[in-house]
A and B are shown apart, each in its own frame.
Chain A
Amino acid sequence: MKLVPLIHIALIVLSAQAFAGPKHDVHISYCKSQLTRTSLSGKVSYYKDDFVKALRNRQGTAFYGQGPARLEQAITAYMRQNFTATTGAGEKLPLIITSTGIDETSIWFNFTFSSSAPISSISIGNTVLFQEFRDQMNMINVKTPTGEHSLVLTSSDPNGSIQL
């Protein structure tokens, strides 16, 4: 029967994806934030093991044996490169990490992006862990004076915009 080899091929293609693709669990980060006239601030959380993997990939052998100060610098640099905010006027806002927390499974950052001018719209990018996991989705919830918006950022769509 000609259908049997066709079914075998289809299932083998599916299995190749299963072997190379993501596991059952979902790779996701979550950010809860608030947008005011001059700033965006909030808390962003990542799965700790994944975040460590990203840092290790970025730093290579330098990752091992470094002191806390250098590790903190590496984390800040990684976050600044991958977690960004740009106003509608084109001002790239600097990321300020106000505090960091870590537990058994997660690492999180309290952050602020401040603008020198009133913000009418903002574009937020979060590409953290995209290089490590092709199914990574970074979700950003933004509370504004007019309502609440949720963005789902993926490797094919790594930026989202919010109007005030």
Chain B
Amino acid sequence: MSDFTAFLRIGFTHIIGGYDHLLFLIALVIVTRTWRSLLSVISAFTIAHSTTLILSALGIISLAPAITESLIAASITYVAIENIVRKNYEGRWIVAGAFGLIHGAGFSGHLTNLLKNSLEGGAIWSPLIGFNVGIELGQILVISLLYPFIWWMRKAGKEEVLVPEISRVIAAIGGVLVVGRIFGLFSEGA
């Protein structure tokens, strides 16, 4: 296995087990009504996410993990509430892009610092790109699994009932995560 493949695996595994990321993705795409809107939302999120991840790795930006973790939790709540209160989701790619910047900066702790300390010069790019590609592949897998449900929901005319229900629960979870992360209430250990 090469460094690229190893980091790709790490990125992929991290997203599949990254429950806050999954909740955010569900809230983000559950209201998309066309392939075009889905593509614009995912592209905006991916570009923004990759940008801040790379900027963090290069040491150009550095945000305290406590801040990014809380903002990430807040982004879950925000998107879920927006699903409930808004009727028109045009321009959602802007929200996706804005929060993508925060989600990407959320990796500015462990990964980027270790890469900076362990690798010199251009050697940082292969693991960094591998990790990013792994994350994006994980996201594609999650959306591929989720989309048949979204399609069925719309086809069966259950969108008006299920979207607010799902969003209410996600908003509540996000709210608890915000409080928990601000006050350090949740264990992240074994």
* Chain A residues engaging chain B, CB cutoff 8 angstroms: 1, 3-4, 7-8, 11-12, 14-15, 17-32, 43, 45-47, 50, 103, 105-106, 108, 130-135, 137, 139, 141, 148-152, 155
Q: Hey, which chain A residues are within 8 Å of B161, CB to CB?
A: 1, 4
**A18–B115 Cα gap in the complex (Å)?**
26
Chain B 131-190 residues near chain A, CB threshold 8 A: 158, 161-162, 165-166, 169-170, 173, 176-177, 180-181, 186-190
A152 touches B10 (CB 8 A): yes
A21 touches B188 (CB 8 A): yes
B10 touches A106 (CB 8 A): no
B10 touches A26 (CB 8 A): yes
Which interface residue of B13, B108, B189 has the most chain A CB atoms within 10 A? B189
B20 touches A28 (CB 8 A): no
A-B contact pairs, 21 of them (CB 8 A): A1-B158, A3-B158, A14-B23, A21-B188, A24-B69, A24-B106, A25-B69, A25-B111, A26-B107, A28-B111, A30-B117, A43-B118, A45-B114, A47-B113, A47-B114, A130-B190, A131-B190, A135-B14, A137-B10, A149-B1, A150-B2
**A25–B35 Cα gap in the complex (Å)?**
30
The total of interchain contacts (Cβ-Cβ below 8 angstroms) comes to 139
Minimum distance in angstroms from B72 CB to a CB of chain A: 5
B110 touches A28 (CB 8 A): yes
- B: number of interface residues (CB 8 Å): 51
**A17–B162 Cα gap in the complex (Å)?**
22
B110 touches A18 (CB 8 A): no
Minimum distance in angstroms from A10 CB to a CB of chain B: 9
- Please pick, from A3, A46, A50, A135, the residue contacting B17 in the complex, using a CB distance under 8 A: A135
**A32–B3 Cα gap in the complex (Å)?**
10
A151 touches B177 (CB 8 A): no
Q: Hey, which chain A residues are within 8 Å of B65, CB to CB?
A: 23, 25
A105 touches B113 (CB 8 A): yes
Q: Hey, which chain B residues are within 8 Å of A29, CB to CB?
A: 114
Q: Hey, which chain B residues are within 8 Å of A7, CB to CB?
A: 162, 165-166, 169
Minimum distance in angstroms from A74 CB to a CB of chain B: 20
B69 touches A30 (CB 8 A): no
- Please pick, from A12, A27, A151, the residue contacting B6 in the complex, using a CB distance under 8 A: A151
Report the 9 A-B pairs with minimum CB-CB distance, sorted nearest first. Answer: A18-B19, A150-B6, A15-B173, A24-B106, A105-B113, A134-B190, A30-B118, A11-B169, A25-B109
Chain B residue with minimal CB distance to A43? B118
Minimum distance in angstroms from A142 CB to a CB of chain B: 11
**A12–B2 Cα gap in the complex (Å)?**
38
| Sample of 5 further A-B pairs with CB below 8 A, known A11-B170, A15-B19 | A24-B107, A106-B117, A108-B118, A141-B6, A150-B3
Given A132-B190, A151-B1, are A139 and B19 neighbors across the interface (CB < 8 Å)? no
A152 touches B9 (CB 8 A): yes
Q: Hey, which chain B residues are within 8 Å of A21, CB to CB?
A: 17, 19, 188
Is B77 in contact with chain A by the CB < 8 A criterion?
A: no
- Please pick, from B68, B115, B162, B188, the residue contacting A4 in the complex, using a CB distance under 8 A: B162
Q: Hey, which chain B residues are within 8 Å of A32, CB to CB?
A: 118-119
